[in-house]
Chain A
Amino acid sequence: MNRPRPRSSADPSAGPDGSAILKEGGRRAERERAKRARSRRGQAVAFGSSLLILGGLAFLILTSSGWPEVRSQFFSVEVFRESFPGILSAFWLDVKMFLAIEAVVLVLGLLIAVVRSSVNPALFPIRILAALYCDIFRGIPVILLIYLFGFGIPTLELEGVPGDPLILGCTALALAYSAYVAEVYRAGIASVNQTQTDSALAVGMTRIQALRYVVLPQAIRRVRPPLLNDFISLQKDVALVAIVGVIEAFRQAQIDTARDFNFTPLIAAALLYLLVTIPMARLLDYISARDDVVRGAAR
Chain B
Amino acid sequence: MSVIEIRDVTKAFGERQVLEGVDLSVAEHEAIALIGASGSGKSTLLRCIDLLEEIDDGDILLDGEVITDPSVDPVGVRRKLGFVFQAFNLFPHMTVLENVTIGAIKSGEMKKDEARDRARELLDRFGLAGREDDRPERLSGGQQQRVALVRAVAPGPRALLLDEVTSALDPELVGEVLEVVRELKDEGMTMVIATHEMSFAREVADTVAFLNGGRLVEMGPPGQVLDSPSLPETKRFLGRLHTAGLA
Contacts and interface: CB of A to CB of B under 8 A. Distances in A.
Interface of A: 195-196, 198-206, 209, 213-214, 217-218, 221, 297-298
Interface of B: 47, 50, 52, 74-75, 78-79, 81-83, 85, 87, 89-93, 102-104, 106-107, 109, 137, 151-152, 155
A203 B137 contact: no
B75 A196 contact: no
Given A195-B89, A196-B89, A200-B91, 17 more contacts: A195-B85, A196-B91, A198-B47, A198-B85, A201-B78, A202-B152, A203-B78, A204-B78, A204-B104, A204-B106, A205-B75, A205-B103, A205-B106, A209-B106, A217-B93, A218-B93, A221-B93
11 contacts: A195-B87, A198-B47, A198-B85, A200-B91, A202-B85, A204-B106, A205-B75, A205-B107, A218-B93, A221-B93, A298-B137
A59 B107 CA distance: 71
Contact of A204 (B52, B87, B109): B109
Contacts of B151: 203
Contacts of B89: 195-196, 198-199
A86 B106 CA distance: 54
A199 B152 CA distance: 10
A293 to B, nearest CB: 13
A242 B198 CA distance: 74
A213 B87 CA distance: 20
Given A204-B106, A205-B103, A199 B78 contact: no
Given A203-B103, A213-B102, A297 B93 contact: no
Contacts of B107: 204-205
A184 to B, nearest CB: 19
Contact of B106 (A196, A202, A213): A213
A203 B50 contact: no
Nearest to A204: B79
Nearest to A214: B91
A214 B151 CA distance: 15
A130 B155 CA distance: 39
Contact of B103 (A204, A221, A298): A204
B141 to A, nearest CB: 13
A195 B86 CA distance: 10
Contacts of A206: 75
A237 B145 CA distance: 49
Nearest to B83: A202
A195 B50 CA distance: 14
A205 B155 CA distance: 12
Contacts of B103: 203-205
Nearest to A217: B93
Nearest to B104: A204
A206 B74 CA distance: 9
B91 to A, nearest CB: 6
Nearest to A195: B89
Contacts of A209: 106
A202 B52 contact: yes
B92 A199 contact: no
A196 B85 CA distance: 10
Given A214-B91, A218-B92, A218-B93, A201 B52 contact: yes
Residue among B81, B90, B103 with max Cβ neighbours from chain A (10 Å): B103
Contacts of A213: 102, 106
Contacts of B92: 218, 298
Contacts of B152: 202-203
B85 A204 contact: no
Given A204-B155, A205-B103, A206-B75, A198 B52 contact: yes
Contacts of A297: 137
Contacts of B91: 196, 199-200, 214
Contacts of A202: 50, 52, 78, 81-83, 85, 152
B85 A199 contact: yes
B78 to A, nearest CB: 5
A205 B85 CA distance: 16
A10 B50 CA distance: 58
A201 B85 CA distance: 12
